[in-house]
Chain A
Amino acid sequence: MAGTEKVAMICTKGTLDWAYPPFILGSTAVALGKEVSMFFTFYGLNLLLKDTSKLRVSPAGNPAMPMKMPYGPDWLRKIDWAPKLPNIFMNNMPGFEWAASKMMLQSTKNHGVASIEELRAMCQEFDVKILACQMTVELFGYEQSDFIDGVEFVGAATFFDEAGDASNTMTLYL
Chain B
Amino acid sequence: MADFDQELDASGLNCPLPILRTKKTINTMDAGQVLRVVATDPGSVKDIEAFCNQTGNELISSGEEGGKFVFMIKKS
Q: Are A31 and B14 in contact (CB under 8 A)?
A: no
Q: Are A28 and B13 in contact (CB under 8 A)?
A: no
Neighbouring A residues of B13 by C-beta, 8 Å: 112, 114
Q: Does A113 contact B (CB under 8 A)?
A: yes
Q: Does B51 contact A (CB under 8 A)?
A: yes
Name the interface size band of chain B: 10 to 19
Selecting from B1-9, B15-23, B61-69, the interface stretch reads B15-23
Q: Are B20 and A28 in contact (CB under 8 A)?
A: yes
Q: Does B28 contact A (CB under 8 A)?
A: no
Given the interface contacts A112-B12, A126-B23, does A33 sit within 8 Å of B55 by beta carbon? yes
Q: Does A101 contact B (CB under 8 A)?
A: no
- B-to-A contact residues, CB < 8 Å: 12-17, 19-20, 22-23, 41, 50-51, 54-55
Q: State how many residues of chain A have any CB contact under 8 Å with chain B.
A: 13
> Can you offer 17 A-B residue contacts whose CB atoms are under 8 A?
A24-B15, A24-B16, A27-B16, A28-B19, A31-B16, A31-B19, A31-B20, A31-B23, A31-B51, A32-B19, A32-B54, A112-B41, A113-B17, A114-B13, A119-B16, A122-B20, A126-B23
Q: Does A111 contact B (CB under 8 A)?
A: yes
**Per-position contact with B for A8-36: 1 when CB-CB < 8 Å, else 0?**
00000000000000001001100111000
Closest Cβ of chain B to A169, distance in Å, is 16
Closest to B54 in A: A32
